[in-house]
Amino acid sequence: MRTLFVISVLMTKNESWRVVDLFAKMDTNLYKFTLFNELYFLVAGGTVWIDSSLPSTNVTSYQDSPTKEESIDVKVTQAEVNSRHNTVLELNSTSGSNGSTDVGLKDIHDSSIQNKGDSNHFPDQLKLLDQQDDSDDVGRFLYLEGVEYIMWCTYDVHFYASFALLELFPKIELNIQRDFAKAVLSEDGRKVKFLAEGNYGIRKARGAVPHDLGTHDPWNEMNAYNIHDTSKWKDLNPKFVLQVYRDFAATGDMAFGVDVWPAVRAAMEYMEQFDRDDDSLIENDGFPDQTYDAWTVHGVSAYCGCLWLAALQAAAAMAQQLGDKFFAETCKTKFFSAKSAFEEKLWNGSYFNYDSGSSSNSKSIQADQLAGQWYTASSGLAPLFDEFKIKSSLQKIYDFNVMKVKGGRMGAVNGMHPDGKVDETCMQSREIWTGVTYAVAANMILAGMEEEAFTTAEGIFLAGWSEDGYG
């Protein structure tokens, strides 16, 4: 199981000290053990921090590829990064399989919007904000999600871990986001064999957020992960948009916002290819195309669909603040259409079904079904759904995924059938993931369910760190 190592329940702005106080009152050992054991990994668990300038302008030729398969059909599109201001400017616009357009989301046209490769894409008033002093250059940072998973900065789980970096080392967190923003606008056309399906595809598509920053040659050779084609995953791009907006909102760093905005737009536009029925909502493609990479998804899914709704709202808010009013209105329109489709297809009266398919686990209760709402609330945006649906879903997760597993003494199991039996569709559906459980607990706190939240979080302490647990 992937080790997730951040106590995100403590990291919500304006909530942290109240939460710490509540945690301390519950159990002093629980608080101390959890805080220190979950955060140590940032400095002692497979971490690289180098004294290096921000992303450079060097274009890597990829001549020394690690595998024979990867040496075929080398075609790399790189992004230029201004070494002083760290502004990402696209040099080469690619089209075709990535589904992106030059002016915005699908079926949207406006002659007043410049091509994304044009530096005039930004409103005039923003150009003066693109400044960065030497104090922002804090080097470059890599870390592992676990010592057994040797890929740097795996982004699908940075989604859970990044609250700690934002709270404790915000400039490092912003630099990681800049690295991924640069990656979004790059393409690596070398052929890679994907192990699960046995087919070949390119290593990294333009517009797609990479799964990781690499193994052999970090930053230059990304997507060391090759089980599935992560350019077809449905959660990475929304997670990028949500993290960028959260960081932008938390730090108020306008220069950062300007730096990464081209990548945010590209990431949103890339996802439009996955809206198969033009309802503004993305669909999954019948394979494990998200961080739960052994758990197949059919049609609309609670996890990826909710992340997409949240990303639409966050992109709209960021676009509005940066002066890209056209894109803000586009995302708002898409949001309301997608929300209606999401609720119609997944809401069953008490929670959101796992997916809209007809498999044996389509009606499963997924602990992570409101991950998008967690980021929405943490970033100060309006709730994605009405209060009843949010609290009802979280209560269902608490009653079933938490309390029906060892009486709530282990955390939240990823999947649970509505009959109270653990979803054993795959290894991951029956696992308990540390970061997911903390995210659920944080979501509960934000929804005013404090007792349920700390019981949920306490399960990880009891199972993982207490003398009666598993060590």
Owner of token pair 């595809």: 201
Rounded to the nearest integer, the mean pLDDT of the chain is 82
Q: Print the SS3 string covering 115-145.
A: CCCCHHHCCHHHHCCCCCCHHHCCCEEEEEC
Q: Which of 341, 330, 338 is nearest to 101 (CA)?
A: 330
Structure tokens, 74: 């080398």
pLDDT at 70 over 60: no
Distance separating alpha carbons of residues 277 and 273, to the nearest angstrom: 10
Q: Judge contact between 288 and 295, C-beta under 8 A.
A: yes
Q: From the CB of residue 109, how many other CB atoms can be counted at a distance below 10 Å?
A: 9
Long-range Cβ contacts of 445-448 (<8 Å, 24+ apart): 445/9, 445/12, 445/15, 445/19, 446/12, 446/15, 446/374, 446/377, 446/378, 447/377, 447/387, 447/390, 447/391, 447/394, 448/391
CA 66, 177, 92 angle in degrees (round to 5)?
65
Q: Judge contact between 55 and 137, C-beta under 8 A.
A: no
Q: Which of 176, 184, 209, 239 is nearest to 368 (CA)?
A: 239
Question: What pLDDT score does 53 carry?
Answer: 66
Question: What pLDDT score does 27 carry?
Answer: 63
Question: What pLDDT score does 136 carry?
Answer: 72
Q: Which residues contact 403 (CB under 8 A, 6 or more apart)?
A: none
Q: How confident is the model at residue 410 (pLDDT cuts 50, 70, 90)?
A: very high
pLDDT at 125 over 60: no
Distance separating alpha carbons of residues 161 and 143, to the nearest angstrom: 11
Distance separating alpha carbons of residues 373 and 329, to the nearest angstrom: 21
Question: What pLDDT score does 5 carry?
Answer: 38
Per cent of the chain over pLDDT 70 is 76
CA distances from 93 to 121, 209, 268, 324 (A): 14, 16, 15, 20
pLDDT at 55 over 90: no
Which stretch of 71-85, 270-284, 341-355 has the lowest confidence by average pLDDT? Answer: 71-85
Q: Judge contact between 76 and 62, C-beta under 8 A.
A: yes
Query: Helix, strand, or coil here: 295?
Result: coil
Which stretch of 46-50, 127-131, 238-242, 412-416 has the lowest confidence by average pLDDT? Answer: 127-131
Q: How confident is the model at residue 21 (pLDDT cuts 50, 70, 90)?
A: low
Question: What pLDDT score does 41 carry?
Answer: 83
For the chain, give every domain's residue range.
Answer: 8-464
Structure tokens, 50: 């180098």
Question: What pLDDT score does 470 carry?
Answer: 82
Distance separating alpha carbons of residues 73 and 175, to the nearest angstrom: 31
Q: How far is CA 446 from the centre of its chain?
A: 19
In a 10 Å sphere around its CB, with 0-12 CB exposed, 13-18 middle and 19+ buried, how is residue 155 labelled?
buried
Q: Judge contact between 84 and 132, C-beta under 8 A.
A: yes
Q: How far is CA 240 from the centre of its chain?
A: 5
pLDDT at 286 over 70: yes
Question: What pLDDT score does 440 carry?
Answer: 98
Owner of token pair 């930053």: 219
pLDDT at 338 over 80: yes
The answer regarding whether domain 8-464 maps to CATH 3.30.70 reads no
Question: What pLDDT score does 28 carry?
Answer: 64
Percentages helix, strand, coil for the chain, rounded to the nearest 5?
45, 10, 45
